[in-house]
Chain A
Amino acid sequence: MSDLETFRRETRAWLEANCPPEMRRPMTSESDTYWGGRNAKFSSEPQRVWFERMRDKGWTVPDWPKEYGGGGLDRAEHKVLREEMAAMGARAPLSSFGIWMLGPALLKYGNEAQKKEHLPKIAAGLIRWCQGYSEPNAGSDLASLQTRAESDGDDYVINGQKIWTSYANYADWIFCLVRTDPAAKKHDGISFILFDMASKGVSTKPILLISGYSPFCETFFDNVRVPKSHVVGTVNRGWDVAKYLLQHERAMISGTGERGIGRPLGQVAADSVGSDDSGRLDDAMLRGQIAMFDIDEAAFAAVAERAIDLAKAGQSHPAFSSAMKYYGTELNKRRHEILMSAGGIDALEWESDRSKGGARPRAWLRTKANSIEGGTSEVMLGIVAKRILDLPGA
């Protein structure tokens, strides 16, 4: 038996023994997600147990080096772990912008002191991070951001406003893009900086979403003092860090949703719509839509697998995450349109117990942001056109 097969067997056995049954069911509400942080609370005992067991194995970040709190798995082992978790429907033990976005950027651009300081805390879920990129006048055109960081001795003094900062009101620290050289061309005067949200001069104001939740905020900085040592990478070269981080953000968002976990769509639909005598879903058009969706989803799973294999073989294009982000998010929106259609009248309830507080319509509405957050579908297509296809124009 190969080492990898042994690893698979042991991993499966460990997961079987350690993942509580409650953590193998599809999530139904936002509180099913554990985000960590200074003020974190577990919503249930199984959620706590699962998180702590995974943390102790380094499997909140299975592929990070052990010295930074990771599991030290190589790519093949990491893939095995993901597959085994997916096979049993195991939830992620910890959700975190630190894991998905900041961590990879620190691993590549951070200095040793920054890695030692931040990575283990991310792995252990001690600090919750938020992302300070967008501003009222800098969304798709992110590099036109105006938040200023002015040099004052060993510190920067930061002034300005961010918007759409997800969970800023719950976050402990922020990774933030600021303008350190207003005279330079727009991409050349930006720095990537980290600071504590409890710093004097930071305030947040939640924004209500169409889903009825308010997961994001306007964030204001009023003379916030931040040590210069908190800049990641080179001063004024923050755009490189920002772009690298966006690749990871996009890859993460492309896999959004409970895809592959839980009951197949066709059966969810059959539960509510019913089947005809020959066992076919009793709504021919819906059945067709679901079948076409299943085809596209299976094909997308194949390209996701291939993207990893291509990267491993050194054959992938750095902008490919934009292609994945575009398609994965459009697919997720389609999935939720189908779920709403399959749910029919029942899926319209917003506040009943029966509907678990309107879980389905709220999830449906939330997915509409997938093709906006982290860069819109239009922007992704623009990147593919210019960087991969090399089409002309600015």
Chain B
Amino acid sequence: MPLVLTEEQSMLRDSARGLITDKAPVSHLRQLRDSKDEMGFSRDLWKAFAEMGFSGLLVPENFGGSGLGYVEAGVVMEEIGRTLMPSPFLSTAVLAVSALSRGGSEAQKSAHLPKIADGSRLAALAIDEGTKHRPLQINLQAVRSGNGFKLSGAKALVVDGHTADLLIVAGRTGGAAGDRNGLTLFLVDPKAKGVAIERTVMVDAHNAARIEFSNVEVDADHVLGEVDQGYQLLDGVLNIGRGAVASEMVGLSEEVFGRTVTYLKERKQFGKLIGEFQALQHRAAQLYVDIEITRSAVLKALQTLDGDFDHAGAAIAVAKARAGTTAALAVQEGVQMHGGMGMTDQFDIGFFMKRARVCQELFGDSNYHADQLARMKSY
């Protein structure tokens, strides 16, 4: 498959960009942050998203969605990255939909997917527990009880955790932290007894929560996929999430870079445009090259997810690691080249820097993925 967008994918990008830049420029995020908005995102905007088919983009057609692929999800994520629009797209339309459609029973799918597609249901994936992303270390205990399970433990960085109508929780039904076997995914009602949700106001003003589970009862038919065999499903879903976040970082990097280059052509010092200084020209050129390479690696990874899902691990590790380092460089250079302006809250660049840090950490940072790649290559 050629490593360029098809005409349909370009059209999708244009319509997503149109809506997002029009309705949710960076000032939208700023306004939500400054007003300490309770939801942290706009319901109206999510409705508009759903009407354009974005919320159901990955939902199979027989469940009311458009049945598109991961490249298309990446296309939308990239546009989200350009304006940092807060929305449940990643948590609900990408992660939850993937988990449900890849692992769910017919009953589970028809209970949730159509509602997600029409924008009326939000969901969140609860995985990480420790300081760093380590899915194998999951230790939330899921003990058999009656016909179902009782969950106890805590999750951190649950994206959109406080707005979700449905939680997908990874827990341990067997084995010990570090084991591949013994992980199970559960569909949990956030209003169930024993669930305590704390919205964590984060550095990037996006939504996340810490969630505690104390003896939360879950029915057997709320197991997603097979008991003890959840790792493979989770790993696949995480790879999709990694590809999506990498796309967001490509959009974010390009946007910061574009703003920076514009500034280099406008700002004068020593009687010259600062863009005439070779020291800055070369750094800008290096960053351009970095972004182009990363964009290619991310597209490659998403195409591999669509075409050869089970062998996409290495391409995803490359994409997420590259996107993380490139985004970090893009925001650092962005602030630096804007001088004092770059340090002010009034200016938008800082928003990109904060979001890049969160995206780095989500689903494994660059070091994590470099380590994974080394393992895959047996060294």
Whether A391 pairs with B379 at a CB distance below 8 angstroms is no
**Which residues of A are found within 8 Å of B367, using beta-carbon distances?**
288
Interface size on A, residues (CB 8 A): 45
Query: Which of B118-126, B164-172, B229-237, B314-322 lines the interface with chain A?
Result: B314-322
Taking CB atoms, residues of chain A closer than 8 Å to B293 are 296, 299-300, 302-303, 327
Query: Which of A291, A300, A315, A389 touches B370 (beta carbons < 8 Å)?
Result: A291
Is B374 in contact with chain A by the CB < 8 A criterion?
A: yes
A392 within 8 A of B: yes
Interface size class of B (residues with CB under 8 A): 35 or more
Would you call B379 and A392 a contact (CB within 8 A)? no
Chain A residues with CB under 8 Å of B264's CB are 391
Q: Which residue of B lies closest to A294 (CB)?
A: B373
Which residues does chain A contribute within 8 Å of B3, judged by CB atoms? Answer: 302, 305-306, 309-310
**Which residues of B sit under 8 angstroms from A309, Cβ to Cβ?**
2-4
| A389–B285 touching, CB < 8 Å | yes
A385 at the interface (CB under 8 A from B): yes
Residues of chain B within 8 A (CB-CB) of A275 are 379
Contact of A392 with B265 at beta-carbon distance under 8 Å, contacts A279-B378, A315-B4, A385-B282 already known: yes
Cross-chain contact B371 with A291 (CB below 8 angstroms): yes
Interface residues of A in 101-119 (CB under 8 A from B): none
Shortest Cβ distance from residue A254 to the other chain B in the assembled complex, whole angstroms: 11
- Write the nearest CB–CB distance from A78 to chain B, whole angstroms: 14
Q: Indicate the member of B3, B293, B318 with the most A CB atoms within 10 Å.
A: B293
Does B275 have its Cβ within 8 Å of any Cβ on chain A?
Answer: yes
Q: Which residues of B contact A264 (CB under 8 A)?
A: 377, 379
Interface membership of A326, Cβ < 8 A: yes
A206 at the interface (CB under 8 A from B): no
Q: Give A301-313 as 1s and 0s: 1 = Cβ < 8 Å from B's Cβ atoms.
A: 0110110011011
> Which of chain B's residues have a CB closer than 8 A to the CB of A300?
293
Q: Is A381 an interface residue (CB 8 A)?
A: yes
CB-CB nearest in chain A for B317: A295
The answer on a CB contact under 8 Å between A323 and B282 is: no
Answer whether residue A281 sits at the interface, using C-beta atoms and an 8 A cutoff.
yes
Pick the contact of A391 from B284, B315, B370, B373 — CB < 8 Å? B284
Residue A270 is within 8 A (CB to CB) of chain B in the complex: yes
For residue B318, which residues in chain A have a CB less than 8 angstroms away from its CB? 294-295, 298-299, 302
Tell me, yes or no, whether A269 is within 8 Å of chain B by CB.
yes
Q: Is residue B278 contacting chain A, with contact meaning CB distance below 8 A?
A: yes
Within 8 Å by CB of B321, from A295, A315, A378, lies A295
The interface stretch among B94-102, B130-138, B294-302, B354-362 is B294-302
Contact between chains at A385 and B4 (CB < 8 Å): no
Pair A382/B273 contact, Cβ less than 8 Å: no
* Residues 261-308 of B contacting A (Cβ, < 8 Å): 261, 264-265, 272-273, 275-276, 278, 281-282, 284-286, 288-289, 292-297, 299-300
Chain A residues, Cβ within 8 Å of B292: 303, 323
A388–B315 Cα gap in the complex (Å)? 28
CB contacts (< 8 Å) of A299 on chain B: these are 293-294, 296-297, 318-319, 322
Q: B300 contacts A305, CB within 8 Å?
A: yes
A391 proximity list for chain B (CB < 8 A): 261, 264-265, 275-276, 281, 284
Tell me if A382 and B282 are in contact (CB < 8 A).
yes
A281 touches B379 (CB 8 A): yes
Q: Is the CB of A378 within 8 A of B282?
A: yes
A71 contacts chain B at the CB level, 8 A cutoff: no
Does B369 interact with chain A (Cβ within 8 Å)?
Answer: yes
Contact of B297 among A292, A302, A384, A388 (CB under 8 A): A302
What 3 A-B pairs come out closest when comparing CB atoms?
Answer: A266-B379, A299-B297, A385-B281
A–B complex contacts, Cβ < 8 Å, 30 sampled = A264-B377, A267-B379, A291-B370, A291-B371, A291-B373, A291-B374, A294-B377, A295-B370, A298-B314, A302-B299, A305-B296, A306-B3, A309-B2, A309-B3, A310-B3, A312-B2, A323-B288, A326-B286, A327-B293, A381-B281, A381-B285, A381-B286, A384-B289, A385-B282, A390-B265, A391-B276, A391-B284, A393-B273, A393-B275, A393-B278
| Residues of chain A having any CB pair with chain B under 8 Å | 264, 266-267, 269-270, 275, 279-281, 287-288, 290-292, 294-296, 298-300, 302-303, 305-306, 309-310, 312-313, 315, 323, 326-327, 378, 380-382, 384-386, 388-393
